[in-house]
Chain A
Amino acid sequence: MQLLLFNAFNGLIQGVFYALMALGLALILSLNSVINMAHGGFLVIGAYLAYTLAPYLGFWGALVVGPIGAAVIGLFVERILIRPLYKRPDPLYTLLLTFGLALIIEDLTRTIWGAQGLPFQVPAALNSPISSVLFFITGYRVLVVAITIGVMIALYLLLRYSRLGIRIRAGTFDLETVSALGVNIYLLRALNFGLGCLLAGLAGVLAAGILGLTPPMGSSLIMPSFVAIIVGGVGSLVGSILGGLLIGVAAGITTTYYPAASEAVIYLIMLIVLVIRPRGLLGQEGLFE
């Protein structure tokens, strides 16, 4: 029973990372119509920036600066490479471009920081377990969950009440009309892309504290995030959070009984959802069909 709880909680933490990634991907997908294959790259950038800056800024400073760094690089990438492609309606090109970027970022990370894993130091106070029975619940893991919940609430408030958020939501429904109403949709999409990269960077820093840093950490987290979006339903942000947590916990629980299938189960869930409910758990009917 304890083992089951342990694995389920591990899965939940993984699910939190999937959800953060999926949320950023889903934002970019719905407004920018870009499948950001380089999303894992921005995660890696956030994580390694935090690692490099932590000695100077401390853990908390790095936790803030890492994601912002990823967002700034994301803004540059959007401006220079992705914006010229908006006029091509075929999503193939942005997919290939970000795919290439993912390769470049992973390879450069390996060149700069080395191929072997690096540990990311979190404050010692956060590393001690909260109780001896639930030995796996450390302060840091609670912090990860707390920060994620906080960020999600902030994002909800942003999208629900701020002018920028309302425009982003309107843009996902009908970008043409939003443009006709005098909104600078280039700026809107750039900010949205940056926001997505910010979330990826945050996921990277938080994940680094638990999984450590390796150059392929981004590409190993991005596929489950795709699955999270498909399971939760394309076009639904809540759905992608739900999907991320669901597949994380499912993978964790599977580890208890049949460790070899812990990755495959994620994709099996996706297949089952696609058969029973093709649009995903919370997806809107007819979107991208």
Chain B
Amino acid sequence: MIRRHPIEVLLWIVLVTLPLWLAQVGGYTALGTKILIYGIAALALNLVLGFTGGLSFGHAAYFGVGAYGAGMTLKYLVPSTPLAIVVGTIAGGLAATILGPLVMRRRGIYFAMITIAIGQLFYFIAVRWNNVTGGEDGLAGFQRQPIHIGSFVFDVQDETKYYYLVLACFAIAIVIMRVLLASPLGHTWVAIRENRRRAQFLGLRTDLYVWAAFAISGTITALAGTLNAMLFNFTSPQDLHWILSGNFVIMIVLGGMRKFWGPLVGVTIFVVAQDYLSSLTDNWMTFIGLIFVLIVLLFPKGILGLIRSRRRAQTSPRAPGIQQSNEALEENRSAPVREVAK
């Protein structure tokens, strides 16, 4: 069902051994954990963005709901790490499931606008509901707790052990997403992305499939949110803000949105760059903005897309010509005129 690529095996080896050598190359364990967490979120968002073709620009909302859900569970309900993960994930998943029907019939620009705006609702709830959420200052005062399995204690307060907990969640999320994408459901998503109207003519209820993609993607994004809250033992309204939503999208585009692993590549580069830039200059926001502009203008297919088209050009001498003519054809069809209103 799922073919294993040698590079993929290498990837898992790298991820499993990461805490052993990351410090030697100038990183720190929490950075690796953050990459994994954002990786879960970006891969999940890509289910909607890259595979179903829905331009969701508000996924930080579900990330944040997960984060607040986990934080509040630890702070107000029970000090239990697994329960915090479950509660946060369900909370974010529910939010996405309930709001999904509002966007599932929309396409393109309208889909993006509604998802952005809906995300802001959660942001203002978090900012204004002071006594519960901690308002602008964020939610603090909770700690991830050691996990008890029978008599065995897995003390995730240790950073390296927490990394492995996150890696386990990452692996579970990957398996779920791979299985889904290999299933008829996943193929339907791609069909909707490629031609929604044609999928409708085949008798598929595309709305429901888009809803499913949105709900599943929101749920997994919320899982990432819960892990992020417990990584820092803190969460703030910034985890809900549309700037984070935009960052997720640019990470995906940077890595390559048509490839399963593309988002992870993008996340790695973006998170490391952000970490480095914010320690280097106060104007890091300008550089992040420049990254946005340059990626859009120069690497619209992302890094993995770039590698793939180059490899294809090398293996088959005829391919580049065909590709060029295809691209020219596409440009001719869409330029100078674009689809304005359907």
At the interface, yes or no: B35 with Cβ under 8 Å from chain A?
no
At the interface, yes or no: A186 with Cβ under 8 Å from chain B?
yes
In angstroms, Cα B126 to Cα A260, docked, is 11
- Inter-chain contact B337/A107, CB cutoff 8 Å: no
CB contacts (< 8 Å) of A31 on chain B: these are 340
B1-14: CB near A (< 8 Å → 1, else 0) gives 00000000000000
B259-289: CB near A (< 8 Å → 1, else 0) gives 0000000000000000000000011011011
Partner of B253, one of A92, A261, A275: A92
- Inter-chain contact B116/A223, CB cutoff 8 Å: yes
- Inter-chain contact B342/A186, CB cutoff 8 Å: no
- Inter-chain contact A185/B337, CB cutoff 8 Å: yes
In angstroms, Cα B286 to Cα A44, docked, is 16
Smallest beta-carbon distance A53→chain B, Å: 24
Smallest beta-carbon distance B188→chain A, Å: 19
Known contacts A104-B289, A223-B120, A267-B118; is-contact A176 B337 (Cβ 8 Å): yes
Smallest beta-carbon distance A34→chain B, Å: 8
CB contacts (< 8 Å) of B232 on chain A: these are none
In angstroms, Cα B286 to Cα A89, docked, is 27
- Inter-chain contact B124/A103, CB cutoff 8 Å: no
CB contacts (< 8 Å) of B253 on chain A: these are 92, 96
At the interface, yes or no: A136 with Cβ under 8 Å from chain B?
no
Q: Is the interface of A mostly helix, strand, loop or mixed?
A: helix
At the interface, yes or no: B26 with Cβ under 8 Å from chain A?
no
Smallest beta-carbon distance B269→chain A, Å: 15
- Inter-chain contact B118/A287, CB cutoff 8 Å: no
- Inter-chain contact B242/A100, CB cutoff 8 Å: no
CB contacts (< 8 Å) of B286 on chain A: these are 103-104, 107-108, 111
Smallest beta-carbon distance A202→chain B, Å: 23
In angstroms, Cα B240 to Cα A225, docked, is 19
Partner of B342, one of A90, A97, A260, A286: A286
In angstroms, Cα B106 to Cα A96, docked, is 19
Complex: chain B residue closest to A279, CB-CB:
B110
- Inter-chain contact B337/A229, CB cutoff 8 Å: no
B99-121: CB near A (< 8 Å → 1, else 0) gives 00010011111111110111011
- Inter-chain contact B293/A101, CB cutoff 8 Å: yes
Known contacts A100-B293, A267-B117, A268-B121; is-contact A33 B107 (Cβ 8 Å): no
Of all A-B residue pairs in the complex, the 7 with the closest CB atoms, nearest first, are A100-B292, A103-B289, A104-B289, A267-B121, A87-B335, A288-B110, A107-B285
Q: Which residues of B line the A interface, CB within 8 A?
A: 49, 55, 57, 102, 105-114, 116-118, 120-121, 124-125, 127-130, 242-243, 246, 249-250, 253, 282-283, 285-286, 288-293, 295-297, 300, 331, 334-342
17 contacts between A and B (CB under 8 A): A35-B109, A37-B246, A86-B335, A89-B334, A90-B108, A91-B55, A92-B249, A96-B246, A97-B292, A99-B250, A103-B286, A104-B285, A107-B286, A111-B286, A185-B336, A223-B117, A275-B102
